[in-house]
A = this chain, B = another copy of it.
Amino acid sequence: MDAEKNESVNIYDIAEMANVSIATVSRVVNGSDKVSPATRRKVEEIIKEVGYKPNAFAKGLGLNTMHTVGILTPNVADAFMAAAVYYLEQEMRGYGYDCLLSCSGFQPEGKRNQLDLLLSKHVDALVLVGSTYAGSGKDSKETDYIREAAKKVPVFLINGSVRGRNVYVTVCDDTKAVRSVTESLIACGCKDILFMTDSRSYSANKKRSGYEEAMQKTGLPLRQELIRFVRNDIGFVREYLHREKPVFDAVVATEDGIAIGVLKYAADLGIRVPEELQIVGYNDSRMALACEPELSSIDNGLKMMCIETVRRLMDILQGRRADKKTVVPCQIIERGTTRFLKR
């Protein structure tokens, strides 16, 4: 079997150029008689024209693939990423696919190396979990490694947005969720709403935009001293607030761990939650149920993002078309630390 000679052209490109599905290209390559003579001629002409040599994957497409999808995540000890891997595994198993996982860390070199490792194991597609893979959004070179991988197999991103051929994206509407929560807090009469985050990632920036949009929309001034960068660590946040003593009557945190640190600080000072202070976390983790009162939290729609990703991944692997970008809504789970929905 020939190696892919013209590496810059793959089966997805041929399908796009011929305006047919990749299953059709696969049938032509494999000599199936389920293709009309006209379509066959068109596909064969394009293949000849661009010098495309089908690789083993294209030849075996849908017949004899490895039925294995590679999952890349920076750190599986993070509850969000671990849950994503869990949902992805479950979904893919339903389609008869196995998963291989690798952890890349947050550095460019690690990302590239682990992506290559997965490709070397002959996976049929890649799923990248976490907004770190989308880079800062400032320099498109940061994400060249993803477009490079997408020449070999389709690449799906969860919670990060990258443009490229054969690259598919599923994100949640973080901006809208934070804007909505912040507006609700303002409607409750909150004036000094802290926005606390541990990250400057694509996803964290979307959340921050939501906070800023709510301020603009309601005509409140955007005060930089209300935006705080902290560590996602209960003890750290608690001590940070004792040290910094900011004035605030509400908190929107980009992680549940940060929000619970605020809750602990409030308990230390006898500040009543939610009467005197309202707190909203993010990710609706198990910790949100462990604290007292239970934490209101934004459910980032992770499960739905994973289901949507796998559904489209299977569409692509089975030769159908799929949306390049899908946006999944977030949901606000109100519990004991807020009173904007309850009455």
Contacts and interface: CB of A to CB of B under 8 A. Distances in A.
Interface of A: 68, 75-79, 82-83, 85-86, 89, 98-103, 113-114, 117, 121, 234-235, 257, 260, 264, 267, 286-287, 289-292
A113 B89 CA distance: 14
16 contacts: A76-B82, A76-B85, A77-B85, A79-B79, A79-B286, A85-B103, A98-B102, A98-B113, A98-B114, A99-B102, A100-B100, A235-B289, A257-B286, A267-B292, A290-B290, A291-B291
B234 A290 contact: yes
A114 to B, nearest CB: 7
Nearest to A70: B100
Given A260-B290, A267-B292, 11 more contacts: A76-B76, A76-B82, A76-B101, A77-B82, A79-B82, A79-B286, A98-B114, A100-B101, A260-B289, A286-B287, A290-B290
Contacts of A76: 76, 82, 85-86, 89, 101
A99 B114 CA distance: 9
A101 B101 contact: yes
Contacts of A89: 76, 103
Given A77-B82, A77-B83, A234 B100 contact: no
Contacts of A287: 286-287, 290
Main secondary structure on chain A at its contact with chain B?
helix
List the 4 closest pairs (A to B, CB-CB), nearest first. A77-B86, A101-B101, A290-B290, A82-B82
A264 B68 CA distance: 43
Contacts of A260: 289-290
A96 to B, nearest CB: 11
A98 B260 CA distance: 35
A265 to B, nearest CB: 12
Contacts of A117: 68, 98, 100
Contacts of A290: 234, 257, 260, 287, 290-291
A216 to B, nearest CB: 34
A113 B68 CA distance: 12
Contacts of A234: 286, 289-290
A237 to B, nearest CB: 11
A100 B98 contact: no
A252 B255 CA distance: 30
A147 B121 CA distance: 25
A79 B98 CA distance: 22
Nearest to A84: B77
Which residue of A68, A75, A77, A287 has the most chain B CB atoms within 10 A of its CB atom? A77
Contacts of A235: 289
A251 to B, nearest CB: 16
A287 B79 CA distance: 12
A34 to B, nearest CB: 31
Contacts of A289: 234-235, 260
Contact of A86 (B68, B99, B103): B103
